[in-house]
Amino acid sequence: MTKADIVNEISKRTGVDKVTVLSSVEAFMDVVKESLVKEENVYLRGFGSFIVKKRAQKTARNISKNTTIIIPEHNIPSFKPAKTFVNEVKK
């Protein structure tokens, strides 16, 4: 399902025009992104959590040049679904 499909489905279910729904969906995504950039998690009860995970520094190897490089500590976005959400998908 694409963003356009989501906008169409929400528009059908609510009766709100697609332009308004599109701006709402994009605003939601922007708020989530901005929160994660600030290292603030986003919790949506019954749906899941958008969280920031810290990856530790590690040593990696470049096989073709036979050298080692250090990958610094960094953050990565992640989604953790709520238990009710997981149970619905499992059915």
Domain that holds residue 21: 3-90
Per-residue pLDDT at 62? 87
Mind listing the pLDDT tens digit for each residue in 15-46? 999 999 999 999 999 999 999 999 999 999 99
For residues 62 and 51, the answer to whether their CB atoms sit within 8 Å is no
Q: What is the value of pTM for the model shown?
A: 0.80
**CATH code where residue 69 lies:** 4.10.520.10
The continuous run of DSSP H or E covering 84 comes out as: helix 83-90
- Describe the crossing of helices 3-14 and 18-37 by its angle, rounded to 10 degrees: 120
Per-residue pLDDT at 71? 93
- Per the structure, how many domains does the chain have? 1
* Closest to 6 measured CA to CA, from 28, 35, 36, 31: 28
